[in-house]
Structure 1
């Protein structure tokens, strides 16, 4: 408006009586409206003007193109603009509710919001459905795996590129889902969003549980299973736990945390409803097996395997199922762990009882290794592979009373500051029970030399099995050394009682001059005693090659070498006497050969 016109209007030379409203210009003539909108109203109107065409373009009810096309797949930039329009529309609705809840514009906003939510529901469903491969738990749980590869290897580069493609697709899908979820939750459509998510994702978890071969077995079903079938079920379960924890549930937790990062309560609700049922089936299996299957020491390895797999994965289980609503899953896993530990302790006690109750009185042919020794040591050497787990299980067990545990067996005394671990005491006690049983078995031999050879054989087998398994770490070098000294003592006693009469038949000083008649008597006596001893002891068996060599080497020194020396000095005297030639039955080589042919169990 020109300043001159204003000045003329305000300071007219005419009198005030001649002043008239007709001199004012019409508001419409100067561009003003009678009810000019506020700034907020202008912003709201602008929001509606921008949101309506965008939302109506993607209305699946009125637009064929929108019905068959995915917004996020077609144009991700437009998809993000769509979300921005919806968020702005929500703000406009809040303003209208505050200023005028009966406004026609509010009704219009609500209609557009419903259309937008139907669109987003459809997009959310499509992204979840079409990206099942990229959003499967394995892909989600291994998104960071590309960092483990060496960029310089061509084969690794191919792997990296492949993993990056999966990771990119997975990341894009997760980002889109998160964007839609946050939009729907903030606009009051959380229920619709969660319904879609839970249905699709639970079906994926349930399918994963089914593919892992996990089933709910009744108590009677497990009780009727024979062990071979049940063992296959346990083997399958062991593999299933590793996949389920590291991939299935871990991936699902990551996806939930990413998509619903804006709401802790929604994250918890989703993950709990999706995973809880399958997890309870998974971790309830061991308890069901323990409660309803027949107990036997033979099953102990598989029970230890189940205990190990839960124990090894416990940090992950604790992290994945950290919500209050999934506390029952951790409780079930812990209950199974406790039941498995109880089973192990019971089975070990039954194992000890089995050794003690063994009552066969038939001596082992050839004074060889008793099958009880073989069974017990093989069983224990396998158990020793579970020493870490058994240490945990037996940590609180009451050790055997010290007066029943010879110090010489373990190599420790009360004076030592650190007592032996419970597992060492337990395993040492098992072997002590076995040794006592073997001492009783040795009494069944009529020939005491056979008793000592039997003990030497069996103690040597114990030393050998312990030395070549993890038992050596549990029982210690000193224990093995002391038991090995027992083997030497028993073999020495066998040699003394079984062959001393043959040794004593030769003069202590073979070079000492004696009469021909005395020479004849020595040869005849040696021939008879040596032949009888060889026939008798040729039935004996010494399985361990070192023990066999040591015994025969000792007898060679004491018998064969002494005989050779006597033979070399006095054989000429005998050979020159026609009447005495027949008394030489064995050449020195014959004696050595017969000694080296001993302990094979054949005459």
Structure 2
């Protein structure tokens, strides 16, 4: 550089003045003069906003234009201090600049606190998240023109808040930009510690209050949770489930966004700030889930453990990204530990559930061969488990079934194999219970009822997709086989009492016909009375079994009845031999499988063609 008053000489050796940038007294004087001007300009503005003189005023509320000038003055002061430290560290001007800097920092520290504490409505997690989409945040405070700042200061009612007509997102953006500007200024001036201290105190209280309003109790210890009555603990689990997603994806995530924006100039500061503000609450949040996983386990508590596991697993990507730094590693570890403990608890409760099925000691046979309570309990339980298939897939992925499961496709997932195995354990238990019936036909009816209940439950739930259509089809075929076995064992004597092929009346003697009718009457009445209290729970299966039985019995009896019944009915001395008309059989069969006492062969079921109706119910 050259002085504007310097005229070069034709001969360098004769020049009366040689300018050297580093050592020239003129340059030193000029620089010092400029620095002094900076201090002189900064002093009245800083003195005006001395917090010891203006305790109730606010720079950002009263004049946003002066707020920007204030930050610029601090930058000038900093430059002046650097100059005097290098050139004359004992200068009185350096002391003066240092004093002004301390005063300015006190004002900015106060402004920082006021903006944080009085603009919570614009710094709540939703507003912060929304404001990140606003260009004003990304552009920053420095991009605002002086005219914009001056007009924005008109009509303000809250600190660091834009005009009342602005949207919440722009209001949040303005407040965040103000905080960032102050933080940048204080950190660059060497007062970052004071700024961070204020930020941590205010924002920690905000997070504490947010989680308190969600109903989360972070004071519970693992021992207290372990000793807690289940109903009380379950209520707290429900509260936790309602709150955890909001806590992570909104409260913690919003705090992450705010912290990253305000302290964008320092990675270390923003990571340490966020960690100290959220770590205690986050660890307590996931620690609760881990403690539940360590509680006393029983199959009935399975679903709450799965709820907790699912609650964390569903938001794990947000947990991982929000608490990504080394300083937040304890939170990530706590969440992982909770998943591990809850997964272990779920596997243990599944094993206990299987053992409970195998150990079921109920010896009383279900009246009428209906659906056993164990079948209802197990299938309802498995139906609920199927709703957690995504979570359970992770939990049982490395826990294969030890034995092969029949009727299941070879490429079935570990989850499908585990559920099919539990159904198989149930069916094996039911086979053993069926043997307690003295009547073989009733044993088969019991098996048909219970397997049909299993199939219906599978078809009506997500179990259908987990076990597969092939598995369902094979079980349905077994139901039909059980029904056929019941029919064979329960009605074979009735069918055998009728001749296979009915000869003409002349070819069968009267006595033979009479004996055939007597045998049929006795067999049918005995089967009917024995089975009238039996039950088929599923209406569809009940109708199918009635239709099947009627198709086999009624046509054969009708043929025999029409061939040999008429002569006997005309013989007044043979009353009671032909006791049933073909229509009567259909009426009596309609009484079956309802589990009621049904008809006692009253005349209501007999047709007018049966002459012995008044003697029904007697032995012959």
Q: The TM-score by the shorter chain falls in which range?
A: 0.7 to 0.9
- The aligned runs of 1:272-283 (5 Å cut-off) are 272-283=275-286
Q: Displacement of 1:35 after TM fit?
A: 8.0
- The aligned runs of 1:295-374 (5 Å cut-off) are 295-374=297-376
> Does residue 289 of structure 1 match 2:280?
no
1:163–1:138 Cα change, 3 Å: farther
Q: Which sits farther off after the overlay, 522-531 or 173-182?
A: 522-531
Q: Which residue of 1 aligns with 2:586?
A: 592
Q: Which residue of 2 aligns with 1:456?
A: 448
Q: Displacement of 1:137 after TM fit?
A: 2.1
Q: Which of the numbers 198, 201, 204 marks the counterpart of 1:199? A: 201
Q: Which of the numbers 33, 47, 52 marks the counterpart of 1:61? A: 52
> Does residue 52 of structure 1 match 2:54?
no
- The aligned runs of 1:479-494 (5 Å cut-off) are 479-494=471-486
How many residue pairs are counted as aligned between the two chains?
542
Q: Which residue of 2 aligns with 1:92?
A: 80
Deviations along 1:304-360, whole A, 9 cap, x unmatched? 111111111111111111111110111111111111111111111111111111122
Structure 2: stretches of 5+ with no match in the other structure: 1-24, 136-163, 598-620
Deviations along 1:69-93, whole A, 9 cap, x unmatched? 2211222222112111111121111
1:583–1:144 Cα change, 3 Å: farther
Q: Which of the numbers 465, 474, 490 marks the counterpart of 1:473? A: 465
1:582–1:184 Cα change, 3 Å: same
Q: Which of the numbers 202, 222, 225 marks the counterpart of 1:222? A: 225
Whether the aligned pair in 2 keeps the contact of 1:307 and 1:341 (CA below 8 Å) is yes
Whether the aligned pair in 1 keeps the contact of 2:504 and 2:563 (CA below 8 Å) is no
Deviations along 1:495-550, whole A, 9 cap, x unmatched? 00001111222232347433443333333322222122111111111011111111
Q: Distance in 1 between matches of 2:113 and 2:40?
A: 28
Q: Distance in 2 between matches of 1:71 and 1:508?
A: 111
Deviations along 1:366-390, whole A, 9 cap, x unmatched? 0011111111111111111111111
Q: Displacement of 1:197 after TM fit?
A: 0.5
Q: Which residue of 1 aligns with 2:249?
A: 246
Q: Which residue of 2 aligns with 1:410?
A: 408
Q: Which of the numbers 385, 388, 413 marks the counterpart of 2:387? A: 385
- The aligned runs of 1:429-578 (5 Å cut-off) are 429-510=421-502, 512-513=504-505, 514-578=508-572
Q: Displacement of 1:269 after TM fit?
A: 1.2
Whether the aligned pair in 2 keeps the contact of 1:214 and 1:281 (CA below 8 Å) is no
Q: Which residue of 2 aligns with 1:15?
A: none
Structure 1: stretches of 5+ with no match in the other structure: 1-33, 148-161, 413-418
Whether the aligned pair in 2 keeps the contact of 1:146 and 1:163 (CA below 8 Å) is no
Q: Which residue of 1 aligns with 2:126?
A: 138
Whether the aligned pair in 2 keeps the contact of 1:146 and 1:164 (CA below 8 Å) is no
1:94–1:522 Cα change, 3 Å: same
Q: Distance in 2 between matches of 1:303 and 1:257?
A: 35
Q: Displacement of 1:146 after TM fit?
A: 10
Q: Distance in 2 between matches of 1:223 and 1:256?
A: 36
1:590–1:144 Cα change, 3 Å: farther
Q: Please, what TM-score do these two structures have when normalized by structure 2?
A: 0.84
Q: Displacement of 1:45 after TM fit?
A: 2.4
Whether the aligned pair in 1 keeps the contact of 2:401 and 2:421 (CA below 8 Å) is no
Q: Distance in 2 between matches of 1:411 and 1:585?
A: 54
Q: Which sits farther off after the overlay, 531-540 or 260-269?
A: 531-540
1:358–1:37 Cα change, 3 Å: closer
Q: Distance in 1 between matches of 2:166 and 2:464?
A: 48
Q: Displacement of 1:209 after TM fit?
A: 2.4
Q: Displacement of 1:397 after TM fit?
A: 1.3
1:554–1:163 Cα change, 3 Å: farther
Q: CA RMSD in A?
A: 2.1
1:411–1:36 Cα change, 3 Å: closer
Q: Which residue of 1 aligns with 2:97?
A: 109
Q: Distance in 1 between matches of 2:546 and 2:486?
A: 12
Q: Which residue of 2 aligns with 1:124?
A: 112
Whether the aligned pair in 2 keeps the contact of 1:356 and 1:433 (CA below 8 Å) is yes
